[in-house]
Chains A and B, each alone.
Chain A
Amino acid sequence: MQEKLSFKKGYRGRTIFRIVNVVFLIFVMILMIVPILKILSDSLDTAGTYGLNIIPKNPSFLAYKTIFTTTALYRPFLISIYTTVVGTAIALLLTTFGAYVLIQKDMPGRKFFVWMIFFTMIFNGGLVPTYLLIRNIKLINTLWAVILPLALNVYNMVLMKNFFEQIPESLFEAAEIDGCSPMRIFWTIVLPLSKPALASIGLFFAVEYWNHFFNFVMYITDTSKYNFQIKLRELVLDSQNLAPGAEAIYGRTIQYAAVLVSMLPPMIVYPFCQKYFVQGVTMGAVKE
């Protein structure tokens, strides 16, 4: 399909379209990136003018220094890292265990388990009963209230199951004949063979945990247990600056810098695992 750009008769319309298309897409990319660039530039701007410039006037890392030296600001950052690491580990364990069990075709009761898990996708108790449950099992104001409910994700479990199903069954049979126990097969064959799946689904969970805020809104009232997203809400949105002249405690530059800091981890990780994400999204959704 590769054609050369040419203005010969018959190719003209095509060529013009291709040039316009590229120009348009570049324009859209700029539109996407400008808000982020503007935030970046203003976070480095100590002049505090926040004008029309994209290049900061007096660049300095003062705001970032403030974030990483003020306990009230870096503590949420550490909480975010903690919930992400612990949550992703628990979530992956649950997801792989569940998926491994669900591919056992001859297992008595498997159908019931499948049905039981799928039904949670269709119907749930809702916000208040869930809140009351967390309250009754004494998880209010603990980070477990944030971590545990997110750890079981049916959709991700189904993705994992689809990955596991691609492992040739002869491998299992061979291992079985060699006298491997199911657990051993799981640790020595299934997991090593599904590294891409573990990476991609692990990243789904990690991004989910890093970006999560609502469980904090619901279950956490102790401000020392806030994660970075909630802190950011406090910094930017709660002092919404709806009225002119209203200034947040830390000033604008810190707000800009905080936005950048909270975006950073997903941004760094994302380009490396783009193909896994894409694979995850398209799996099972496109007609073969």
Chain B
Amino acid sequence: MFAKTQRNNLTQGTAVVPKKKDLVRRIIQYKYFYLMFLPVFIFTIVFNYIPMAGIRFAFYKYNPFAPPKFIGWENFKTLLVNPKFIAAFKNTITLSIVNLVLGMLVSIIFALLLNELYNKYFKSFVQTVLYLPHFISWVVTASIFYLILSPTDGFINQILGFFGIEPIYFMIEEKWWTPIYYFINRWKETGWGTIIYLAALSGINPELYEAAVIDGAGRLKQTWYVTIPGIMSTILVVFILNLAKVMNIFESVFVLQNPMVLNVSEVIRTYNYKVGLLQSDYGYSTAVGLFNSVISMVLVIIADKASQKIKGSGIL
């Protein structure tokens, strides 16, 4: 942009300007931009790249009374046989994947139902209500459900009590915690999840429906042969994008878990927080974090390649 006029002036001269000079000139020309980029640059270095250098801690043994000792891959050997870590790994995968699949299914169904509404005002009203919980923080969400599911005076147990059912300890019984976790996630994110499918639905060419009607397709057939294929690429893209985030599951679990349900609710990042910051085992917990980061990175790269195949552009 800025270089354009300048370069035109340069090439209008008789002599050919040497490349190097041109580069220096352009750098000088863009000096303000480098200045503008400086804060971003500093932030990135400090908050992203300096911690990356900190992954070397994963290869050290820390103890409070001696200098850190280099122990190579020892921490990784420890964690791979640690039953707590293995359980956390399993829970991460289970909770994430089930949540992802449920979330997509429910959101797609709701997007299709919303798409069938003809009254514009009613439609946007429903959407507003469905999006609402997305803006409620996880802490507040957890608070709401802890209060509502409380065994002593929670709303749900009041209703059960009305029918003569004993109070259920929803949040501290393992068999209840997992389904409640999925339900709360749906309550919070279903509406938000429909946005992207609704956008894809509005992009389907109406002529396709007209053609289907002429061919004698009913509403169901139209949905099956026009609507679903029309949003299939979006579904795939959302799926791989979310797959890249499988290891990141954290906040929702962190606020909903409690000591009674650790067996089903401890995920890698909550485990990492506990061994790292509460027990100050820096070496081992950095190894846990690194393990997680590496898996995440591989997933993101795979997702990027897949996305390039499907929609021709990567996710990055």
Contact = CB atoms under 8 A, between A and B. Distances in A.
B143 A232 contact: yes
Contact of B39 (A17, A93, A177): A93
Interface in A114-139: 116-118, 120-133, 137
A267 B57 contact: no
A287 B311 contact: yes
A59 interface: no
A108 interface: yes
Contact of A282 (B36, B199, B292): B199
Interface stretch (B80-88, B93-101, B154-162): B154-162
B152 interface: yes
B26 A106 contact: yes
A133 B135 contact: no
Nearest to B260: A242
Interface string A45-59: 000001110000000
A32 B133 contact: yes
Interface string A1-31: 1110000000000100110011011001101
Contact of A236 (B128, B136, B146): B146
B293 interface: yes
B147 A236 contact: yes
Nearest to B127: A274
Contacts of A177: 5
Interface in A180-222: 181-183, 186, 207, 210-214, 218
B121 interface: no
Given A25-B117, A130-B51, A240 B258 contact: yes
Contact of B158 (A21, A25, A50): A50
B76 interface: no
A132 B286 CA distance: 11
A104 interface: yes
A127 B282 CA distance: 10
Interface of B: 1-5, 23, 26-27, 30, 32-33, 36-37, 39-41, 43-44, 46-55, 57, 110, 113-114, 116-118, 122, 126-133, 135-140, 142-148, 150-153, 155, 158-159, 162, 167, 169, 171-172, 187, 191-192, 195-196, 199-200, 203, 219, 233-234, 237-238, 241, 251, 254-255, 258, 260, 269, 272-273, 276-277, 282, 285-286, 289-290, 292-293, 296-297, 300-301, 311, 316
Which 7 pairs, one residue from A and one from B, show the smallest C-beta to C-beta distance?
A129-B54, A126-B289, A125-B51, A211-B137, A106-B3, A129-B51, A236-B143
15 contacts: A17-B219, A39-B144, A101-B37, A105-B1, A108-B26, A118-B316, A120-B44, A126-B286, A128-B277, A152-B40, A182-B33, A232-B143, A244-B167, A285-B234, A285-B238
Interface of A: 1-3, 14, 17-18, 21-22, 24-25, 28-29, 31-33, 35-36, 38-39, 42, 50-52, 93-94, 97-98, 100-101, 104-109, 113, 116-118, 120-133, 137, 148-149, 151-152, 157, 169, 172-173, 176-177, 181-183, 186, 207, 210-214, 218, 229-230, 232-233, 235-237, 240-242, 244-245, 252, 255-256, 258-259, 262-263, 266-267, 270-271, 274, 277-278, 281-282, 285-288
